[in-house]
Amino acid sequence: MWRYVSFIVLPVFLIFYSWIRFGPTEEWAHLIGINALHMIAGLIAVYWMARARIERRNPHLRFLSFLCTGLLLHVLGNGVWLIGQVKDGRIDEPIASTILWCLAYFSYVLALITKMRSIGLNFTNKNYIFNLVVFMTTAFVMSEYYLLQPYFEILNPTLERTISTFGFLIADLLLLFFSAILYYHVRYNHGKPHHRFLVLGFLIQVSGDVMFTVLTFSSSPFLEHLVDIFWVIALLSIGWSGHLEGRHNPRQERLFRSHRTVTERDFILPYISIGLLTGFVLSTYGWYLNILSIGWLLLFFLVLGRQIFTLRSNNRLLEEVTFIAYHDQLTQLANRHQFMERLSSDLPRSYAVISLDLHRLTIVNDTMGHAIGDRVLIETANRLRLLRHDELEIYRIGGDEFALVLPYATDESLTALEDALIHQFVRPFRLRGYSIQVTIHAGSCLVEDAALHQDILPCLDTALLQAKKQGPMHCIRYDEQLHQWFSRKIQLEADLVAAIEKEEFELVYQPKVDLLTKRPIGMEVLIRWNHPVFGRISPVEFISIAEESGHIIALGRWILKTACRTTRSWHEQGYPLVVAVNISVPQFKDQHFMSMIQETLSETQLSPEHLELEITESVLQDVTDSRKMLQMLRNQGIHCAIDDFGTGFSSLSVLHQLPVHALKIDKSFVDGCPETSSGAALLPHIIAMGQTLNLTMIAEGVETEAQHLYLKSIGCHIGQGYHYARPLSVEAFSLYLKEQLPSDETPLSSAQ
């Protein structure tokens, strides 16, 4: 605003003052100077507006074109008059100038109508309508009473002059009307702030016109000077709005929408209107006041005052409520509600979102108490605020989840933000004498097209999930590769259920051999998916999808039934093998798990001691429940083995409490042996420990004869791996059995 005052208002006043004070005194020469000043101001305004029109690549070109044309016509009107003044020495304006000025007004009105159409004339706010109605009623009543009535009473105008007076009056009222709408648009609907100068320009122009009309029937040298000053400032103000439009950088436009309430400033227009009208009504009655009218006036102002007071207290309340609804009370950050609204608002074409969660908050809460947990969250919010970026928006979207939105993001700016984010959490938190290392996982997504915008939340989840897989202090960007992975995951999840009916799954069997005799004593059943589009898919990929989606329950039932049925058929052929079936955590925790096993065994006629369940160490995290289930299984005569032993968290103290019968040592321990790698060095100790606990020891991933001999030498009981056989189809496994166990030999029992 100060730039506007120092570049426009002050210079215009100074120049006019100098011209009036020091310029020529004869009317003709004085007017030429005034007119020339009009021309110069008009040309500057046209230049500003034309530059905005050329530079802008925005959708409001028609609006700018009309404004520019209006200014140009205005200048031309003055130009024609100036030429007449210089050439013919005439003082009054020629008819051509009046027509050009009329057209200029027409153009301004068209510009404003175009603008109204582009902003969609939002009349939803009732204060908005109320203010407009009050303002326009006052403007209309006053112009009729103070301009038209005296005009016709005092003057006896020609038809031509009446038409032009009426024309300008109507144009002025229209300009006022649309300018008032534009003003409220800037205030209520977050219109561009520089449009205020346009509104101001039109307001000054209309004020100049009013003074001019007053001058036609009353003379005032002061008003005469003021009219010209007003008109010149009006031209420059309209041009100035074009100048700002040209320099307007949409990047700097604050997209974040505060939830603005109505303030008393919004009532300035109607209050001024009511005040003015009251003053003029009183003046026309000759200020005749009696006790009744004074009382009425007093009441009128009291009611007005009370309205302002109520409005202010309502606003304060509303602001508080809105703040609570849109902010998180602990960190004072914007909350999930605001985040969701932000994502559905008109975000720019390119923006980025980072979603992050704290890795250790639950542990902090459990071990140090919730007060410290709260401090961790507050400190996290403070660290996020330290990420210096003008446009960055920070949200707390869940217990330990935060989100960052970066409008107008590019690949580079997002990378810089990701790095800065991770960097913020390298330093431990110092809270109440504790030094707490809080780590984060983060997933980010750079949105550059509308399609990705639709899927932003699942994309962020996918990226965050990947980051979690990679471990703390990783920020994973959702990119094309992840997109493919995600689409494939969605596809596989959708195909999973039908795949059982379509018989796309196949079970393969990998023998487990007695290390002393190398003869098969049982087999592990492993699943394969022959997908019609993606081909053969590894269980490593689709079992986790089945677990996440819950489909593992149905799939697991099918696996168990099929494996038991096949094993039973081998039994009937004279091979009493033990079948080992992998069981996922959700299956083990399913309330119908036990009954499902019993039903399957009775349906397939397989005896329980020929079934072994392989469970992972993660099942054992909940020791009490797991122990109960394992005990029930043992009571039924079913064996359980801990799969991939050594990769999880099970401690020896937990192991000896659990009724399991075997440990399957993870392949990573077998890989290095018999050379002494760190894993292989542990192997004899694990075996010795297992023997002490009276557990059957099974080694996975045996690939060489050397590994086989070494495992045998340290007392391991059973081996499984490519060295003996790869996972085989039913037919291949039958052949394998015939080879390895001629009919006079029978397999050993695995329960040792």
Of these, 69, 138, 566, 582, which contacts Mg ion (CB under 5 A)? 582
- Using CB under 5 A as the binding rule, the residues of this chain from 483 to 522 that contact Mg ion are none
543 binds, among ligand C2E, Mg ion, none (CB under 5 to 8 A by kind): ligand C2E
Longest pairwise C-alpha distance within the chain: 137
Q: Does 644 bind Mg ion (CB under 5 A)?
A: yes
**At its nearest, how many Å lie between ligand C2E and the CB of residue 655?**
18
Question: Is residue 612 close enough to count as binding Mg ion by CB under 5 A?
Answer: no
According to the binding rule CB under 5 A, does residue 400 interact with Mg ion? no
Question: Are 662 and 684 a contacting pair, CB within 8 Å?
Answer: no
Of 328 and 644, the one with the shorter C-beta distance to Mg ion is 644
Contact call for residue 727 and ligand C2E (CB under 6 A)? yes
Residue (of 173, 178, 76, 184) closest to 125 by Cα position? 184
Query: Is position 391 an interface residue for Mg ion (rule: CB under 5 A)?
Result: no
Identify the CA nearest to 358 among candidates 440, 425, 430, 427.
440
Q: Does 543 contact ligand C2E by CB under 6 A? A: yes
Q: Binding of ligand C2E at residue 527 (CB under 6 A)?
A: yes
Going from the C-alpha of 698 to that of each of 152, 274, 314, 714, 737, the distances in angstroms are 113, 94, 75, 12, 20
Number of residues that bind ligand C2E (CB under 6 A): 20
Q: Which stretch binds ligand C2E (CB under 6 A): 265-273, 287-295, 327-335, 534-542?
A: 534-542
Interface of this chain with Mg ion, residues 83 to 112, rule: CB under 5 A: none
Does position 559 interact with ligand C2E (CB under 6 A)? The reply is yes
Spatial CB neighbours of 130, under 8 Å, sequence gap ≥ 6: 270
Which distant-in-sequence residues (6+ apart) come within 8 Å of 298 by Cβ? none
Place of tokens 């074109």: 65
CB burial of residue 49 (10 Å; 0-12, 13-18, 19+)? buried
Kindly state whether residue 729 participates in binding ligand C2E, applying the rule CB under 6 A: no
Per the CB < 8 A criterion, the answer to whether 708 and 723 are in contact is yes
Shortest separation between residue 190's beta carbon and ligand C2E, angstroms: 55
Selected from 114, 273, 584, 707, the binder of ligand C2E by CB under 6 A is 584
Please identify the residue of the shown chain whose CB is closest to the bound ligand C2E: 721
Q: Does 679 bind ligand C2E (CB under 6 A)?
A: no
User: How far apart (Å, rounded) are the C-alpha atoms in residues 191 and 194?
Assistant: 9
Give whichever of 101 and 669 is closer to Mg ion, judged by the CB atom: 669
Nearest residue to 384 via CA among 359, 412, 403, 407? 403
Q: Shortest CA distance to 37 belongs to which of 225, 242, 240?
A: 225
Q: Is the peptide bond before 727 cis (omega within 30 degrees of 0)?
A: no
Q: Which of 126, 449, 540, 591 binds ligand C2E (CB under 6 A)?
A: 540
- Identify which range of 41-49, 57-65, 192-200, 537-545 contacts ligand C2E by CB under 6 A: 537-545
Considering the complex, state which of residue 266 and residue 643 has its C-beta at the smaller distance from Mg ion. Answer: 643
Per the DSSP assignment, residues forming a β-bridge with 527 are 507
Shortest spacing between CB 701 and ligand C2E, in angstroms: 4
Strand partners, 440: 358
Asked whether position 672 contacts ligand C2E by CB under 6 A, the answer is: no
Segment interacting with Mg ion, rule: CB under 5 A, options 176-184, 411-419, 465-473, 644-652: 644-652
- The single residue among 562, 582, 650, 707 that binds ligand C2E, judged by CB under 6 A, is 582
Q: Which is nearer to ligand C2E, 394 or 716 (CB)?
A: 716
Beta bridge partners of 579: 523, 611
Strands (E), 333-387: 334-335, 351-358
Q: 303 or 540: whose CB is closer to Mg ion? A: 540
How many CA atoms does the CB half-sphere of 589 hold within 13 Å? 15
Measured CA to CA in angstroms, residue 368 lies from 371, 375, 385, 433 at distances of 8, 11, 25, 12
Site for Mg ion in 697-716 (CB under 5 A): 700
Is 236 within 8 Å of 45 (Cβ atoms)? yes
Region binding Mg ion by CB under 5 A among candidate stretches 59-67, 186-194, 577-585, 707-715? 577-585
The residues that touch Mg ion, with contacts defined as CB under 5 A, are 582, 614, 643-644, 700
Contacts with ligand C2E, residue ranges (CB under 6 A): 510, 526-527, 538-540, 543, 559, 582, 584, 614, 643-644, 700-701, 703, 720-722, 727
